[in-house]
């Protein structure tokens, strides 16, 4: 079972959640070989303008090897690269797109069997959970989407107090963990740890987990 870092969001340009990423890199098997799934954008672009910025960031954190997985790569090739990687990173974007692509390629099963560190940022964090709360772009309404189920709870990211009414409503049927940008939940073999701030919405009530 992997150790999961569920990051509520980050401004990568400002490296605003650097302390969370540093902790994950410290936990990873050394030397740190990083495999990145940047599959949450609607359209693929191998010259993704943030790729170099993000690569420089990960290298500064201590990545000794860094590879981006392309959606066109075979499952066998991805499986081989995951076997040697000590840290897997799922970037942000559109959660439903990321979840669908990971399932289509069978990466969900590879992630479940993986024994290293997984960082999920924003959409990447949502995808790792049993259920996640996302916003429908056409209507701006929130809905619950089924994720990959590496952790058995419902997650909301980029949390701000303005979301309280919506999350309190969802909490009457589903226990919801809410994580602000730059904070993270760390899930390790059934043990949950908070880095920064996090909130639990349950039975129409909200409480801080910090």
pLDDT digits (tens, 9 = 90+) for 65-81: 999 999 999 999 999 99
How many residues comprise the chain?
A: 210
Q: What is the pLDDT of residues 100-138, one digit of tens each?
A: 999 999 999 999 999 999 999 999 999 999 999 998 877
Domains of the chain (ranges, CATH numbers): 3-208 (3.40.50.880)
- Vertex 83, ends 185 and 102: CA angle to 5°? 60
Q: What is the 3-state secondary structure (H, E, C) of 120-184?
A: EECHHHHHHEEEEEEECCCCCCEEEEECCCCEEEEEEECCCHHHHHHHHHHCCCCCEEEECCCCE
Backbone φ, ψ for residue 80 (5° rounding): -65, -40
pLDDT-based confidence at 38, cuts 50/70/90?
very high
Name the pairing type of β-strands 151-157 and 87-90. Answer: unpaired
Q: Per-residue pLDDT tens for 146-201? A: 999 999 999 999 999 999 999 999 999 999 999 999 999 999 999 999 999 999 99
pTM: 0.96
């Amino acid at each position: 079972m992997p150790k999961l870092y569920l990051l509520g969001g980050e401004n990568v340009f400002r490296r605003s959640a650097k302390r969370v990423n540093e902790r994950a890199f410290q936990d990873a098997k050394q030397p740190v070989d990083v495999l990145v799934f940047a599959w949450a954008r609607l359209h693929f672009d191998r010259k993704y303008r943030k790729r170099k910025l993000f690569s420089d960031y990960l290298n500064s954190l201590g990545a000794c090897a860094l590879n981006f997985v392309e959606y066109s790569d075979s499952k066998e090739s991805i499986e081989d690269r995951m076997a040697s990687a000590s840290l897997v990173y799922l970037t942000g974007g559109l959660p439903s797109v990321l979840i669908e692509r990971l399932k289509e390629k069978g990466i969900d099963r590879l992630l479940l069997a993986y024994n290293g560190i997984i960082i999920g940022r924003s959409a990447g964090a949502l995808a790792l959970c049993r259920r996640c709360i996302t916003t429908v772009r056409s209507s701006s309404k929130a809905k619950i989407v089924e994720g990959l189920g590496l952790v058995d709870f419902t997650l909301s990211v980029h949390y701000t107090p303005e979301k309280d009414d919506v999350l309190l409503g969802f909490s009457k049927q589903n226990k919801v963990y809410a994580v602000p940008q730059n904070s993270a939940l760390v899930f390790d073999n059934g043990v949950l740890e908070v880095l920064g701030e996090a909130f639990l919405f349950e039975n129409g009530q909200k409480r801080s987990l910090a």
